[in-house]
Each structure stands twice: as structure tokens, then as C-alpha cells.
Structure 1
Amino acid sequence: MHPRPSPIAASLYTLRDLNADVIILHGPHGCCFRTGRLLEGDGIRVLTTAMAENDFVFGASEKLVEVLKKAEKMFHPKLVGVVGTCASMIIGENLKNTVEDANINAIVLPVESHGGLSEGDNTEGAIAVLESAIKYEVIDSDEADRQIEMLKLATEIEKTRGMAQGKYIKPSFGDNKEKVAKIIVKAIKNNKKVAFILNAKKETSYLFSDFLNIGFSAINKDNKPKIIANLDINIGLPRIRGHVKNIISELENNGINIDHITGGLDEYPISGNNALECINNGEFDLIVVAGVPHALKIEDIDNKDITTIAVTDGPRLVEPLFDLGYDYVVAELDAHSKTLGVDHIVESDFGLMLKSAVQWEIDSE
């Protein structure tokens, strides 16, 4: 009942992850405006054909050809994505034929995406890009099939455990971050066994990795928290593997190593299962799950006395996370806008609270 991400936006992000140089939205100039502007911070040139009222009746193929030729002249791209919108797809614009008519030197992926794809799931827009990428041999079918499987699993998680359950969910910012940070720091200081679990996706991992990057040895050098993370450097589209490389390098430079790797950044729908196995095979008093915490089935944790903390980027995910059984939930804001265009770990609000709590414990001794 509440607004959900658009398949069109998912198409844009997936083209970004394929390292497209230019993306052209074939629709009105305001369509997906915010997403387009954010992606420019990631170095992607996002253009529009700026369809208007007459184009809704007579079509705008000529406008698309014109923009494609201008894009080639201005940016000399190697890979271009042409993304349909509600306006161009409803009137039946033929993106493939128009792209061929433009005949530019770059590889151009036509993506017939719009807001009502299938059941309106945003992942359908990403799948449309992958299917086009196979046809134009940008990625092989095995990788595309794996990506599509993950996207379908992600949709299932959102519909059963997340914000797409069909009911209205009131936004919430969850528990007080300072209070939760002090709970974690006191647990580490008092020799409780703590695990930090990163189960994040795409560039938001730069934000959620921040709490892994904190030196807790200052309060208890003999009680290092275990780090469990979906940071497999060999899995994912080119840009995604680059994020993993950057995060691991920065952590290692700060003397922090990952104890268990559960999968890749695009495998968060299943890496939560691997993290759960790590928890049940260990003896923990407290766990912190950050990124997509609802993909980890905390109801299947063997130790029912364990304290569970979720860190999410969705105010509308706070209520579902409490319903799943998390003891504490905190929400980070603007994770996408804070992490687009960066190649390093970004300070999070909760990370800052953890650092403050560590310093408070040091000063109180």
C-alpha cells in the first residue's frame, strides 16, 4: 500500500553495475529524476529523451535516435543502456529497432522496463537488463542466471519478511542508537561473545562496513568480536567485485580480518543462511546484523537467549524486523546517497555512536 522502488530505477542501477557509460531514459524529463541524479555521482551519464504530450500520441523514436547520436558525440561511450519508462512502453515504442536505426559505435542495451512490469516488483527491472545483456553478449548466461536467481529470492524475502508484505507499514527510526551502542560496547568489555554480521548489498556495504572498522581492543584487547561478512571478492558484476576489494583492503590496512565469508554482495538473499550456520556453530551472547538483516532467519537461531540487534537502511523495515524477533533495531538514513560515487568505507551514524561509546568507556575508567 505504501510506495515501493520502481523497476525503472532497478534497471538504472543494474546498468550501472555493468559499468555502462551512458544511460538514456526514454520518457518524460522528470521520470526517475532522483535516481538519475544520484547515479551521476557514480560517474554515469544519465540522459533523457524528454518525451512530451505530442510524443505520447505520435511516438518519439526520432528523439531517441537524436539523443543516442548526441551521447556518442559528447561522451564516446563503450556501453549504453536505453531504458523504457511507463510513457514509452505504454504506447509501444520499439527500443530495439530504434537503437539499430541510430547505428552508433557503442554496444547499446535496449531495456523494456516500466513501473508496472509483472507485479510491479522492482527486481523485474534488473532482470530486464540482464536478459538484454545476454543477447548482446555483455555477460554470459551462467552469470545472468545466477543474478536472476538472486533477484527472485530477494523479491521473495521482501514479500514475506520485508516491506513488500502488502500492508501499510509506518516509517520508524527504531531504537536509540546511543543506547544500543552502549549495550554492544559493554558486552565486549564484559567478555561476552559478540559477532558482527555484514549481510549488505551493493554500494551500501560501504556504510554498513563502518561498524566493522572500529577498534574495540581499547576496551578489551582479549575479546575480539567475530566478523562474518558477505564479502566474497570473486562473486558479482564488475562494479560489485570492486566494492568488495575496496572494503577488504581498507579493513586489512586497519588490522581487521574477516573470520567467515558467507558469499558475495549480490548474494544477500542466501548469505544470511550461511551466517546463521556460523552463529549456530559458535557460542555467542550477542549478534549485530547490518545491511539486509531480515534475510537472516533469527527465528532459527538455536540459542534463544542470544541478544539480537538489526541495523537497516529502511525506516519501513523497522517494524517487520521487530516482528521477526530482533531485540533492538536501528535505522540508518540515506544509505544510497551517502555511498554513491565513493570507493571507501563511509562513516555511519551508528558507527559514530559505537566510537563514542568506546571512548565513553575509556574515559570512565
Structure 2
Amino acid sequence: MIDTIINSYISTENTATHAIEQHLPPINIKCEPKLNDQKHATTLIKEFFSRIEKEFRKLNTKYAKPLGFYYWFIDRDGNLQCFTHEIELFVFLCGSQNYPDKILDTKITANTPKRLPPQCSIILKYIPKDISVEDIKKEISIKYQTTFNIEEMRGSIGRTSRHVRIDLTSQCEYTKMMNSGVIAIGGQLIEAVEFLAPLRILICSRCNAPGHIKKDCKGEHDVCRRCGGNKIQGEHRECTIKCHHCNGNHESTSFECPLITEFRKELINKLKSKAHTLPLKVQLFIPTEFRTQGDKNNRILINNTKNACLQRQSQTTLLNGNLNLHEWPCLPRNANSQTHTTANSSSLNGNNIWNEMIKTQNEFNILKAKFDEQEINMMKRYNEQKIKLGSILSL
């Protein structure tokens, strides 16, 4: 059964597309009284943006686009479900303090998420267990003022240490921490690395099998993910947990299921084989058990072609180095030689010089990236040896 399902769905484009998509979740705005009129809701949203625009642009000085949602609708409870593709707007609306209390006689309340998107998250690695989360929060709040959330990562909790995820609303503070690479907590330097989103698995809400959605499902009825029975028959709130894929003691959508695990493995292998087609901005985390042995960059799945690397580095240079072709200063004109030929020659020479500078900058960025990677690996090995030494001394 496992091979049949995997072979049926692993090759579909929907499966691969869903795996790499990182859409922002909806923004839920509760309204009192409840909304039931589309025109009134439209007027309310327009007024909402006019109220928050001044503060938003004050915090996001480089944001030049008009404010608005990608789309929105009134849900069945009379509240607003709003969607945006702009990370700046999403992060701004994650703060309840940025919402007006009342608009057009309608009281609005923000239902903010618990976490920010991966683009705003950093992992603090191998923090000793004797340093509590509260101590971490106190130390970080002294140096970073825009902390949104700090929590332990469940899968990383070991005998002596664990990883902690931190979300920052300020891009400046995020860049500052990433550039530093470490943060001091309790007098100890803790490694800070970029949080990479895992790939997403498309799971059917009808049959709980991976690789397709409900509208494409061939199942006859909705299946309970706990017991595998028909959802229509019974409450299914306290039913016996038994996976209907493998008869194991877990829910059918759990990563403990061999079907889900094997599907995940095949999906990663498929994306690896087509890594050259991935969008430039996509960086996916590869779990330890699915990494290629001997590959230095086996924890990240990206488009690693030469052109893609150069484009990413060029974009980074322009954004972080503030380089702008239009801001390059003009050389003073030579009053004694104004011939057309000389002007064209000077222009060509200028372009050649600029292209050579860009090429040199890209080569420098490649060397710097290799150096940074080696430095991170050395720090990782150092921390691992320190943990092992601590374990030996504690025996």
C-alpha cells in the first residue's frame, strides 16, 4: 500500500509546489458587532489602513508599496480573515498594540499568532539545561528590544542541552544577531543560526494520506486520523489511537508512520534532483536522517547552480552594501576634450570598470561565505567537544 500511494502522488506538481511554498498564515481580526455586510467591511478595512499607515511607514521607512491585503473575506463568525504576501505588513499586524481599539463604531481585536514566520526566526543552539527560558528572556531583552517569542524546540531537547527559537520583529535586530553569530547568555557564548523552514507535506483531510488534497481524493468518506473509522459515525474525540496506514500506535498523520516517513524521504529526494529549479529565495531544512553523507551543505536545500549563487550574492551586496547603479557619482567633465568618440570610449571604460568591480565583489562574497561556513563548523565542533567534556566530568 505504501509503495502504491507514494508512486501515485510523489510525481505530481501539487506535491512539490506545496512542499516549498511558505505562505504567510491568515490574519484574524475579531469584530464586535459581527460583520455581515461586504460594503461596510470594505469601508472598515480602508479606514483601518488609514489609521495604521503613519506608524507602519515610520517603522518601515523603505517600504514603498501602498498598504492593503492581498485578499480578505468575512468568515461565518462575522470576523475578518485577511491575507498578505508582504512580510513587513504581516509582522506589523502581529503586534496587538498596532491596532486601533475601535473603527466606525466597530470594536476590533487582533488574534495574533504565537510565532513569526521563519524569515524572522533565529535558533540559539546547545543552550545548557541549567539556563532556564526565563533567564534567556531576561538576557536577550537587555540587548534586543523587539523580541516577539522565545521557546524551546521540542525535538532538540537532550540530556544536557537544547535549542531555543527566538522571533524578532525588527529586521535590524535580526540582521545584527545573525551577523554576530553568537550571543552571550549567562557568561557563555551561544551559537545563533538562521532558522530554516522544513518542507511541507500535502496531506488529504479526507483519507489522511500524503500527496493530494480532498477534492482529488478517491475515498468515499472522511476518515478519523485517530482510529481510522468513518467520521460521520460517532464523536471520535476519545477513540482508540490506531494508524489506519500501518496499524501503529499513533495518529495516521504522525511522522512516526512509515508511510509519512517514506513519502517525506522520497519527496526530499525528488526536490534534491530538481534543486536547480527552486526559486532563489527558497531555503529548506533537511532533517538529519535524510541528509546526504559527505556533503558539506547537506542540511540546506537550495538552488545551488552558479548563476543562482551569483544572483543571490549580487542581491545581498546591493541590499546590505547599499550599492546602487543610479547613485554612483559622476566624474567631472574634461573641458579640453569633448569629442563624441572620447565620450563613448569613456562610457565603455566606465562600464567595464563597474562590471569588473561587481565580479570582484561576487568573488569576495563567495570566499566570505566559505569562511563563514568554516567558522560555524568550527564553533559547532567546539561546542560538541565542550558538551562531551562536561558529560565526562559530571560522571
- Whether these two folds match at TM > 0.5 is no
Greater C-alpha radius of gyration: 2
- Indicate the structure with greater helix content: 1
Specify which structure has the bigger relative contact order, considering alpha-carbon pairs within 8 angstroms and separated by 6 or more residues.
1
> Normalised by the size of structure 2, how large is the TM-score?
0.23
